[in-house]
Amino acid sequence: MTQTVSPSARQLPASAAVTDNDSAVVDVTALGEVLLGRWADIRRTARDLAGHDELHTPAGLSHHEHRDRVLKQLRYLVDAGAVHRAFPEYVGGQDNHGGNVAGFEELVMADPSLQIKAGVQWGLFGSAVMHLGNREHHEKWLPGIMSLEIPGCFAMTETGHGSDVASIATTATYEPETEEFILHTPFRAAWKDYIGNAALHGKAAVVFAHLITRGVDHGVHAFYVPLRGEDGNFLPGVGGEDDGVKGGLNGIDNGRLHFTHVRIPRTNLLNRYGDVAADGTYTSAIESPGRRFFTMIGTLVQGRVSLDGAAVAASKMALKTAIQYGVERRQFNASSDIREEVLLDYQQHQRRLLPRLATTYAAAFAHEELLQKFDDVFSGAHDTDEDRQDLETLAAGFKALSTWHALDTLQEAREACGGAGFLAENRLPLLRADLDIYATFEGDNTVLLQLVAKRLLADYANEFAGADFGVLARYVVGQATERTLVRSGLRQMVQTVADTGSEKKSAVALRDPKTQHDLLADRVSTMVAEVGGALREARRLPKEKAAAVFNENQHALIEAARAHTELLQWEAFTRGLERITDDGTRHVMTRLRDLFGLCLIEKNLAWYLMNGRLSAQRARTLGDYINRLLAKLRPHAVDLVDAFGYGPAQLRTSLASGEEKARQDEAMEYARLMRASGAAPLDEKILIQRRRQQERAAAKAKGRS
């Protein structure tokens, strides 16, 4: 498989370093094939499907109309055979987990509401039954879930606890006399909230609740719970509300659910990881309650993987739109009286879009590796506890960074397209609104980075088990010595950061991949070590004081997790270069990788200066070098976004259709003809200029007389 680990344990590929070659060209078709990745055929099929008019939603629909339309679109997906890939073969599926996600994330091009409602039905509700249930559950419910005969909900989140799933308050208490669980919502804050399909369409739900039997709470488990009868009304004991209009994704009927002593059969417990016998005896193959809980939740990582891919796709669409518009739209005639400048020729416009293009490529390569890891785990090819922990850590970090990046990119692309970018018909503001929720569902991004940080700390603790505080202190403060980087959630590696005052750290030398990697990796290792040292003594403190110490270091922890995930993206980009066989394309892409790495260093320049990793003199040259990189990448910008492979049916915007170029050409031709005809009115500025010339000539003549 393509490893998701750092290449630091081996020599970086020769192709990772770039030499000057201004004649390089991009093979758009070949680069597009690299980006399509392992599941290229499925992506093509999904993109073609996303281009069908039946899956497009016109702007201006009410949320009621939008919901009805998206439900019909789900049925269209069923008829197209687009929803069954991940499910077991014995119920009509294909057991193709990576391919399923690859196809699913392309649906964002059609309508994000459609994508997320499909994700609720088959990626959450269906996957929970599949991964948490047994074969009997599969054969009983999965065919109806796949066919949409059973529209369903994934009822985990509660109003009062959000991302803190372990603390939810809904209970499922077992009654041996009737062999039933009694599902109950004890107070208002325990209502299931923001639940897709809950307001209207859901007939059943996978409900997460504390399993209580024989007076013992065995923690959160999942239960299959019928919600509505054939008449569409709630069953006895089930209640709920409509969440109403939202800031985006209004094609999804999000709502709230609550349960008042609702009885379900014992066999409705999805019992792969914990079971209750008829007499109320609880058994589980996983003895530790904490490990059992995280194992169950870990099986649902598909949602984060999918959102990572969808966010990358949205960023690609935004950049294709804005960059295409930027090479057609002309504004201001700074260098000519008759020909205005193309927007993307302005340095600041390049600064707005090209670094975001570099980040999008980094996120795309990282996502492909994440998808491979996901498929390896869920296909059973590589499914150890460590593999699952690695997958969870990667999915948390990449989902956080890619969804934030998508929102930032959509906003910048909208602004870069001016007023036209704000029109609903050009999709950018609608995509920005729909993707806003991506930053907080399937895990709030800040909480997810904290999960990554805790993994970093755990690996750091294992790395230095038994070391005294003096060893740790020397590790932190030594700035010109060999450094040991923690396993970083995935592996053990050693980095040497050379004397930061040497000429090797000049801005031009920063295009050396090892130098970039050393600087990025050193920042991660130092940040984790500093926090690890601060928290080491907290283990001996009372719980309240230890929590206070952790809180004091929380921001630093989250920043370390962000830096770590950015490093992983850089590494994925660098490995991606190895898959490019065309010399010219690899040359341009290496420059794009350098732009990504150097912009990360520039973004965190204060840290590198304060920690002595770069001198102030050399730091000053970094911005100029980035600007030179931008100028070299500018001629290839359209090729780089064309390689994303999106056509008019997927983009559906006039901004990337060539209409702007036609308008600009028409305007320039009109101006040319007017000037050639001699009928053009005289520019007042020319009249003023002539008058001043005459006055100067008259004054000069008078002076001579």
What pLDDT score was predicted for residue 294? 87
Q: Please, are residues 319 and 641 in contact by the beta-carbon 8 Å criterion? A: yes
What pLDDT score was predicted for residue 371? 97
Q: Please, are residues 391 and 363 in contact by the beta-carbon 8 Å criterion? A: no
pLDDT, average across residues 612-632: 90
pLDDT per position as a tens digit, 642-674: 999 999 999 999 888 888 778 877 777 777 787
Whether the pLDDT of residue 635 is over 80: the answer is yes
pLDDT, average across residues 371-384: 92
Q: Please, are residues 258 and 239 in contact by the beta-carbon 8 Å criterion? A: yes
Whether the pLDDT of residue 430 is over 80: the answer is yes
Structure-model confidence comparison of residues 48 and 616, the more confident one: 48
Amino acid identity at 75: R
Options 3.20.20.140, 3.90.550.10, 2.40.110.10, 3.30.1370.30; CATH for 156-288 is 2.40.110.10
CATH of the domain spanning 459-642: 1.20.140.10
Domain ranges of the chain: 156-288, 459-642, 657-704
pLDDT, average across residues 621-641: 95
Whether the pLDDT of residue 481 is over 80: the answer is no
Q: Please state the pTM of the whole predicted model.
A: 0.89
Q: Which residue in the block uniquely carries the two structure tokens 């000053």? A: 620
- In whole angstroms, what is the distance from residue 653 CA to residue 658 CA? 10
Phi, psi of 517 (to 5 degrees): -65, -40
What pLDDT score was predicted for residue 19? 56
Name the region of 215 (left: φ>0; alpha: ψ -120 to 50; beta: rest): left
Written as one string, the DSSP assignment of 516-569 is: HHHHHHHHHHHHHHHHHHHHHGGGGS-HHHHHHHHHHTHHHHHHHHHHHHHHHH
